[in-house]
């Protein structure tokens, strides 16, 4: 390969990288710009790339346009409670599968893996009827309670992680008179921290971003989560672009902050182990 060719290849590689990065980040920029534009700058051709005078007050106006404070409170509640439940239950079950040998274990684990593949569309109808029968429709329970029973994908990830922890640690604790629950609680749970951060992140994202669950299970506006509130706001006030953009940013902000903090765990630890396991 000549030097000219390799330079060309290097240049095209960087052009592709920067071009794609621009494509992926531009929508975020555009949302921010839309949120701080003045009314006359919104529907123009050519588009206004940066407002003459950024209208930061648009955020406060958007916030006041709907009971977004209530939506936010509901979203936080659902996210927090479902994540606590998911971490406790999934790690407990994962420990059971990783550290015990019992009749039916492999069969049950196969069932668990198969359950990962069941599409939500099939269970949403009977789940609605079940929650209706329990009197849970129009409460936050359907969005919180199931998370306290573990989720197959998280159990699978955590089991893979526990299996990489040396069994000698368990044996040593047993010598000291610890029972299996104490071994799980005092030894494995702290050691699992990186995997728990990962599972917690995924669960927070799933709960915070969920739209179909709230859509189906909630009726009263006082119970709406942010996603449902924003979707309804869009249906009712499709032309109020600045408010929509401002609320979109508020909806995206927690996942973005969480991602930037937990990035290390998301990018490295899990994926290879999850796939190759």
Partner 1 sequence: MRPVAAPATRLSSRFRPGAATPYLFIAPWMIGFLAFTLGPLLFSLYISFFDWPLVGEPEFSGLKNYTTILTDDADFIRSLKVTLKFAAMFVPANLIVALLLAMLLNQPMFASGFFRAAFYVPSIISGVALVTIWSWLLSHEYGVINYMLSFLGIAQINWLGSPNWAPVSIVLVSLWSVGGTMLIFLAGLKGISKELYEAASLSGVGKIGQFFLITLPLLSPVLLFNLVTTVIAAFQQLTLALLLTKGGPVKSTYMLAMYIYDNAFKYHDMGYAAAMSWLMLLLIIALTVAIFKFSSMWVFYETEVKGEKP
**Residues 71-90 contacting partner 1, CB under 8 A:** 89
Query: Whole-angstrom Cα distance, residue 145 to residue 137?
Result: 13
Strands in 118-192 per DSSP E: none
- Total interface residues for partner 1 by CB under 8 A: 85
CA-closest candidate to residue 202, choices 155, 141, 161 = 155
Closest contact distance (angstroms) between CB of 83 and partner 1 is: 15
> Smallest distance, Å, CB 35 to partner 1?
11
CB of 66 to partner 1, least distance (A): 14
Asked if the bond preceding 106 is cis, omega within 30° of 0, the reply is no
115 binds partner 1 (CB under 8 A): yes
Say whether 47 sits in a helix, a strand or coil: coil
Rounded distance, CA 257 to CA 105, Å? 39
Binds partner 1 (CB under 8 A): choice among 76, 80, 84, 124: 124
Which of these, 107, 270, 102, lies nearest to 196 by C-alpha position?
270
Site string for partner 1, 4-33 (x = CB under 8 A): ---------x--xx--xx--xxxxx-xx--
CA distances from 142 to 11, 38, 200, 213, 221 (A): 53, 41, 19, 8, 16
Candidate list 6, 110, 267, 277; residue touching partner 1; CB under 8 A: 267
Minimum Å gap between C-beta 227 and partner 1 is 4
Task: Indicate the residue among 95 and 161 with the shorter CB distance to partner 1.
Answer: 95
Question: Is residue 61 near partner 1 by the rule CB under 8 A?
Answer: no
Interface of this chain with partner 1, residues 139 to 168, rule: CB under 8 A: 146, 148-150, 152, 155
Q: Please pick, from the candidates 66, 74, 227, 240, the single residue that binds partner 1 as defined by CB under 8 A.
A: 227
CA neighbours closer than 13 Å in the CB half-sphere of residue 157:
26
Give the span between the Cα atoms of 47 and 64, in whole angstroms. 27
Question: Per CB under 8 A, which of residues 189..218 are in contact with partner 1?
Answer: 205, 208-212, 216
| Of positions 113, 169, 256, 277, contacts partner 1 by CB under 8 A | 256
d(CA 95, CA 92): 5
User: At its nearest, how many Å lie between partner 1 and the CB of residue 109?
Assistant: 9
CB of 56 to partner 1, least distance (A): 19
Report how far apart the first and last C-alpha atoms of the chain are (Å, whole number). 40
**What is the spatial distance between Cα 160 and Cα 13, in angstroms, rounded to a whole number?**
36
Residue 65 binding partner 1, by CB under 8 A: no
């Amino acid at each position: 390969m000549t030097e000219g060719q390799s330079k060309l290849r290097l240049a095209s590689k960087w052009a592709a990288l920067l071009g794609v990065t621009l494509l992926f980040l531009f929508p975020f920029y555009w949302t921010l710009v839309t949120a701080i534009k003045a009314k006359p700058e919104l529907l123009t051709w050519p588009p206004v790339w940066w407002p003459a005078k950024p209208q930061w007050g648009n955020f406060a106006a958007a916030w006041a346009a709907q009971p977004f404070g209530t939506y936010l409170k509901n979203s936080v509640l659902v996210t927090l409670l479902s994540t606590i439940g998911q971490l406790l239950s999934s790690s407990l079950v994962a420990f059971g599968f990783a550290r015990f040998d019992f009749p039916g274990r492999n069969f049950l684990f196969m069932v668990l893996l198969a359950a990962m593949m069941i599409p939500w569309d099939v269970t949403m109808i009977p789940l609605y009827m079940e929650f209706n029968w329990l009197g849970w429709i129009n409460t936050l329970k359907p969005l919180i309670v199931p998370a306290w029973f573990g989720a197959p994908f998280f159990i699978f990830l955590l089991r893979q992680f526990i299996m990489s922890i040396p069994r000698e640690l368990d044996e040593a604790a047993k010598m000291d008179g610890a029972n299996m629950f104490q071994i799980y609680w005092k030894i494995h749970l702290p050691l699992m921290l990186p995997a728990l951060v990962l599972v917690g992140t995924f669960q927070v994202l799933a709960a915070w971003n969920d739209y179909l669950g709230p859509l189906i299970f909630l009726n009263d506006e006082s119970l709406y989560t942010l996603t449902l509130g924003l979707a309804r706001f869009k249906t009712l006030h499709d032309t109020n672009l600045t408010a929509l953009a401002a609320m979109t940013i508020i909806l995206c902000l927690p996942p973005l902050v969480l991602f930037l903090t937990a990035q290390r765990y998301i990018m490295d630890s899990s994926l290879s182990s999850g796939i190759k396991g």
